Structure 1
Amino acid sequence: MTAMLVTLARRTTAVLVASATLVVLAGPAHADVPEGWSNPEPVSPLYALLLLGGVPILLFALVWAAVYVPPLVRGERVSAGGGAGEDQWFGGPRKGTSELAGPDNDESKAGGASARW
């Protein structure tokens, strides 16, 4: 167990020393703008804020409007959970359970589940 901990400590130390060496040797790059490139004017912080903050908010508002405005115009609810939909019985009678056949006599199987206890 202790041999495994010593090996783990050595590996960790080696990785940390190698990483620190790479960071120290890299250093900052001191380069000028290459010849032929323009040197642009600084950007106003207000313009940058409007561009980087306003455009995403505007896109969010457009998507929200595209999703929520049509149902609101139709008069539908758009709250969480939505409205309760009407019950549907696929392949069942069209006018409700009044069209179901009732039992003709005591031995008839129509009109129920015929469960027994």
Structure 2
Amino acid sequence: MTTHVSLHVSPSRSSRSAYARWAGRAVVLAGAPALALLAAPAHADVPAGWGGQTEHQGLEALDALALFVGAPLLLFVVIGLAVYIPAMIRGEKLLPDHSAGEAQWIGGPRQGVAELPAPDGEDSRAGGASGSW
């Protein structure tokens, strides 16, 4: 079976669209330097106290403590409350329950240790772990 594929070929672009592309490129290329020339520096006076100020003002000890210790602690508390308050409103337990539950032996016998074979002799390995030096 033979399949024939035909492609529709559009005629070449007219000279009008070529001129529009050329004009667009010229506007973009000429516009960049024009915008750079329009971006002149602002002429403004220096604010009061900026001119010849040589005295450096530092943070007070209490202000620095509040900024570097108090602000992170406050943020920590706000994030903690944002996490725990919705759970408390829903009535969920926030701490794990460590009450004595039923012991689990994953992969062990279903009937507990009663299913384990008892040792049948001195050299037997049945019945549990063993060790030697």
State whether TM-score is above 0.5: no
Higher helix share: 1
TM-score range, shorter chain: 0.3 to 0.5
* TM-score between both structures, scaled by the size of structure 2: 0.32
Rg bigger for which structure?
2
Normalised by the length of structure 1, the TM-score is 0.35
